[in-house]
Chains A and B, each alone.
Chain A
Amino acid sequence: MKFERKDILGIKDLSVDEINLILETAGSFLEVSTRKIKKVPTLRGKTVINLFYEASTRTRTSFEIAGKRLSADTINISSSTSSVMKGETLIDTARNLEAMNPDVIVIRHSAAGAPHLLASLVKQSIINAGDGAHEHPSQALLDMMTIKERKGNFPGLKVAIIGDIEHSRVVRSNIYGLSKMGATVVVAGPATMLPRDIEQMGVKVFDKMEDAITDADVVMMLRIQLERQKQNIFPSLREYSQRYCLNRNNIKLAKKDVIVMHPGPINRGVELSPDIADDPSFSVILDQVNKGVAVRMALLYLLTGGSE
């Protein structure tokens, strides 16, 4: 199969075949990161720009390492070091970058739809590295890769996603991806963190965490953003953690071989108790990070014509 897409803007647009191709390609890149010399010449002479309008350590580093292990030249632009602060519009920034002829632009932006605007303006490939509360496709792909490795296949799996569903781009991308691949997705969180008509995305919705994680094969905990407390979407961290923290007790409701995931960074003791986060019999969190590099290598490879 040939990968025909110019951009990766969201999982919503991807077909099952495309997702499988990305996961297979990522699988073949996993090994590169275990070599003594962690570099292949595949993207030599290609330029990848990481345009990050929002603070990020994990995702930006992951994309940078992915590019470098493929021998691409990677350039990082973050909001504090660029013209972003000088008030240049996204359109002008895009046209200027385009004029320097990169091959791929990876964009992270707090405004939903910003990667779509960029993609409509420039001829280069765009990868959405997270836009507002919209999508975070590379995260969902690395989550799917992790689940597939641990559980074999998706049909019949129950995946519970717990936390601030409303403000999470990870949730939306995972709902699209996991549903397409045949898994059942349930979500739970306080009523104030459940977006309007989320059921129409084809998920079951609970406000009690216990109801959602019962018999789950996968439990994915979301980071609670501490600044949301000011918006009155939850009364206190203390109360939140009493109701929505995954711990030794409530994890017993899930299947025995349940795996616990988290897109990071973790608020230890808030949404995830430390003993679960650090227990390798449940936690696959660092495995997710490891797969992240391979998935991003696959995306860069496929977008630059690697499947031809």
Chain B
Amino acid sequence: MKLLLTGARVIDPAQKIDSRLDVFLENGKIARVGANLSKSTKSKDAEKITKIIDLAGMIIVPGLIDMHTHLREPGFEYKETVASGAAAAVAGGFTSIACMPNTNPVNDNRSITEFIKAKAAEANLANVYPIGAISRNSDGDQLTEFWDLKEAGVIALSDDGKPVMNAALMRRAMEYAHSLQLPVINHCEDIHLSANGAMNESYYSTILGLNGIPAIAEEVMVARDILIAEYTGTSVHIAHVSTAGSVRLIRSAKERGVNVTAETAPHFFTLTDEALQGYDTFFKVNPPLRGEKDVKAIKEGLADGTIDVIACDHAPHARTDKEVEFEYAANGISGLETSLSLSLNLIHSKILSWPELVSRMSTRPARILNLPKGTLKEGADADITVIDPLLPWTVDVQAFRSRGKNSPFHGRQMQGKALMTIVGGEIKYDGR
């Protein structure tokens, strides 16, 4: 399959490209990026080109990568499968996703990793990169076999869903993983401080009578992990940053040269805890939606690069998980199909430039996960997202490819959307 994409604005922060160019894809790779390729390509390779797609007004970026997805298979197929999650990914503009290990059984050994990879190959949509557990069954007691997991295809380690409470275990995990060039991702939450909390601790938890999760439940562990990385000379990636204090800690650590990276999720720069006033469980997520000053700090952190990555924390759930009393409801938002559009708001509101957004959603996650992706360099994998930057649309959860219809953004007016998702040179989603 050969594709020639013409007329679009091409943005590749890795090569500092941002101009109107053509992109020629051949044999699953990016063959050429340049001006007026249609002419030169035609004369040289005329007979080889099978398809020319005119993308005037559109934006071509290196395939988006979501480094924080929950695919629920094995064990919770009623919420999501590898196939339904991968379909949601390409519909949302993601060519690659990294899936967290909190399945049942937990992805803490080679056989689960291989199972997920086999399911992903069968689905043949997005690239699916399993993340392995740090501890067996994510119980926080014993390290998993990092080397063997890496051999099987794991690209990072995390006990996500749960924090690594034991600081000594975290130290050992970071040291051992560092020697294998495996990133360690931590869900930062001191479970003694967050005990039984259902939402952010604030004026709103007070008036709603719900137990609060204080910002410090996240921040004390962010601080701890930064100190461990600094002391041992290793690195750590902080998952789903939600508070102003975490942003401040990460910023000052980076200034000192500590090898810390961080991600946030679209809901943390879009919504506040004020939204919980109707006890709508679709707004229930962990870490919880925070206050206005946190939202402001998250945006500043994204703008100045303190926060490297926007990740969905795609957490699909079934109706039965959410249609219960608020404190019994499952945490999480089905995010793959709204993440890009919510993130485009950061461009509309001039918080990020286009190259900065592409960096947060493709270049940086590829680098953190050591994936040979996130660029349109000649010879790179032909993973491409085509974005219609202005398309108006309304979120309709019934149209989601994901089995998880749990989105607080249902009915919201959006501007801009993934128009086409190309993985390995093949069109996996076409919204034209």
Point out residues on A near B: beta carbons under 8 Å.
Answer: 12, 89-91, 109, 111-114, 116-117, 131-135, 166, 169, 172, 195-198, 200-201
Q: Does the CB pair B325–A133 fall under 8 Å? A: no
Q: Does the CB pair A196–B327 fall under 8 Å? A: no
| Interface residue? B341 (CB, 8 A) | no
Q: Does the CB pair A196–B201 fall under 8 Å? A: yes
Q: Does the CB pair B208–A113 fall under 8 Å? A: yes
Q: A132-B209, A197-B203, A201-B207 are in contact. List 9 more A-B contacts (CB 8 A).
A: A89-B323, A91-B323, A109-B325, A114-B325, A117-B324, A117-B325, A132-B327, A134-B209, A196-B214
Known: A172-B207, A197-B206, A198-B206. A116 touches B327 (CB 8 A): no
How far is B197's CA from A195's CA once the two chains are assembled, in angstroms?
Answer: 13
Q: Does the CB pair B324–A90 fall under 8 Å? A: yes
How far is B155's CA from A54's CA once the two chains are assembled, in angstroms?
Answer: 48
Q: Which of B202-224 contact A (CB under 8 A)?
A: 202-203, 205-210, 212, 214
Known: A132-B209, A135-B209, A172-B209. A196 touches B203 (CB 8 A): yes
User: Can you list 6 A-B contacts with CB-CB less than 8 angstroms, sorted by A residue number?
Assistant: A89-B324, A111-B326, A112-B279, A117-B324, A134-B209, A201-B207
| Interface residue? B328 (CB, 8 A) | yes
Interface magnitude class on chain B: 20 to 34
Query: Which residue of A91, A132, A198 contacts B324 across the interface (Cβ within 8 Å)?
Result: A91
Closest to A132 in B: B209
| Interface residue? B257 (CB, 8 A) | no
| Interface residue? B278 (CB, 8 A) | yes
Chain A: minimal CB distance from B227 (Å) = 26
Query: Which residue of B201, B208, B320 contacts A112 across the interface (Cβ within 8 Å)?
Result: B208
Q: Does the CB pair B203–A113 fall under 8 Å? A: no
Chain A residues closer than 8 Å to B320, beta-carbon distance: 89
Q: Does the CB pair B327–A111 fall under 8 Å? A: yes
Chain A: minimal CB distance from B245 (Å) = 15
Q: Does the CB pair A196–B210 fall under 8 Å? A: no
Closest to B326 in A: A113
Point out residues on B near A: beta carbons under 8 Å.
Answer: 201-203, 205-210, 212, 214, 278-279, 320, 323-328
How far is B324's CA from A114's CA once the two chains are assembled, in angstroms?
Answer: 8
Chain B residues closer than 8 Å to A111, beta-carbon distance: 325-328
Chain A residues closer than 8 Å to B209, beta-carbon distance: 112, 131-135, 169, 172
Query: Which residue of B202, B203, B210, B279 contacts A116 across the interface (Cβ within 8 Å)?
Result: B279
| Listed residue (B209, B210, B212, B328) with the most chain A CB atoms within 10 angstroms of its CB | B209
Q: Does the CB pair B202–A197 fall under 8 Å? A: yes
Chain A residues closer than 8 Å to B327, beta-carbon distance: 111-113, 132
Chain B residues closer than 8 Å to A90, beta-carbon distance: 324-325
Chain B residues closer than 8 Å to A196, beta-carbon distance: 201-203, 205-206, 212, 214
How far is B279's CA from A134's CA once the two chains are assembled, in angstroms?
Answer: 11
Chain B: minimal CB distance from A220 (Å) = 18
Chain A residues closer than 8 Å to B202, beta-carbon distance: 196-197
Closest to A114 in B: B325
Chain A: minimal CB distance from B290 (Å) = 12
How far is B206's CA from A131's CA once the two chains are assembled, in angstroms?
Answer: 13
Chain B: minimal CB distance from A101 (Å) = 23
Q: Does the CB pair A112–B326 fall under 8 Å? A: yes
Q: Does the CB pair B328–A195 fall under 8 Å? A: no
Q: Does the CB pair A116–B278 fall under 8 Å? A: yes
Chain B: minimal CB distance from A10 (Å) = 10
Chain B residues closer than 8 Å to A91, beta-carbon distance: 323-324
Query: Which residue of B201, B214, B323, B325 contacts A113 across the interface (Cβ within 8 Å)?
Result: B325
Chain B residues closer than 8 Å to A169, beta-carbon distance: 209
Chain A residues closer than 8 Å to B278, beta-carbon distance: 116
Query: Which residue of A12, A135, A195 contacts B206 across the interface (Cβ within 8 Å)?
Result: A195
Chain A residues closer than 8 Å to B208, beta-carbon distance: 112-113, 134
Closest to B291 in A: A197
Chain A residues closer than 8 Å to B326, beta-carbon distance: 111-113, 117
Chain B: minimal CB distance from A185 (Å) = 14
Closest to B204 in A: A197
How far is B212's CA from A112's CA once the two chains are assembled, in angstroms?
Answer: 12
Chain B residues closer than 8 Å to A117, beta-carbon distance: 279, 324-326
Chain A residues closer than 8 Å to B201, beta-carbon distance: 196
| Listed residue (A90, A111, A166) with the most chain B CB atoms within 10 angstroms of its CB | A111
Closest to A91 in B: B323
Q: Does the CB pair B206–A201 fall under 8 Å? A: yes
| Listed residue (A12, A134, A135) with the most chain B CB atoms within 10 angstroms of its CB | A134
Chain A: minimal CB distance from B210 (Å) = 5
Closest to B212 in A: A196
Chain A residues closer than 8 Å to B210, beta-carbon distance: 112-113, 132-134
For the complex of A and B, 6 pairs with smallest distance between CB atoms: A134-B209, A113-B279, A133-B209, A111-B325, A197-B203, A112-B209
Closest to A111 in B: B325
Closest to B319 in A: A91
Chain B: minimal CB distance from A19 (Å) = 18
Chain A residues closer than 8 Å to B279, beta-carbon distance: 112-113, 116-117
How far is B207's CA from A113's CA once the two chains are assembled, in angstroms?
Answer: 11
How far is B320's CA from A197's CA once the two chains are assembled, in angstroms?
Answer: 33
How far is B214's CA from A116's CA once the two chains are assembled, in angstroms?
Answer: 25
How far is B327's CA from A132's CA once the two chains are assembled, in angstroms?
Answer: 10
Chain B residues closer than 8 Å to A131, beta-carbon distance: 209
Query: Which residue of B205, B324, B325 contacts A195 across the interface (Cβ within 8 Å)?
Result: B205
How far is B78's CA from A104's CA once the two chains are assembled, in angstroms?
Answer: 36
Chain A: minimal CB distance from B401 (Å) = 27
Closest to A169 in B: B209
Chain B: minimal CB distance from A84 (Å) = 12
Chain A: minimal CB distance from B197 (Å) = 11
How far is B277's CA from A112's CA once the two chains are assembled, in angstroms?
Answer: 11
| Listed residue (A90, A116, A172, A195) with the most chain B CB atoms within 10 angstroms of its CB | A195
How far is B202's CA from A197's CA once the two chains are assembled, in angstroms?
Answer: 6
Q: Does the CB pair B203–A200 fall under 8 Å? A: yes
Closest to A176 in B: B207
How far is B101's CA from A115's CA once the two chains are assembled, in angstroms?
Answer: 36
Closest to A92 in B: B323
Chain A: minimal CB distance from B212 (Å) = 6
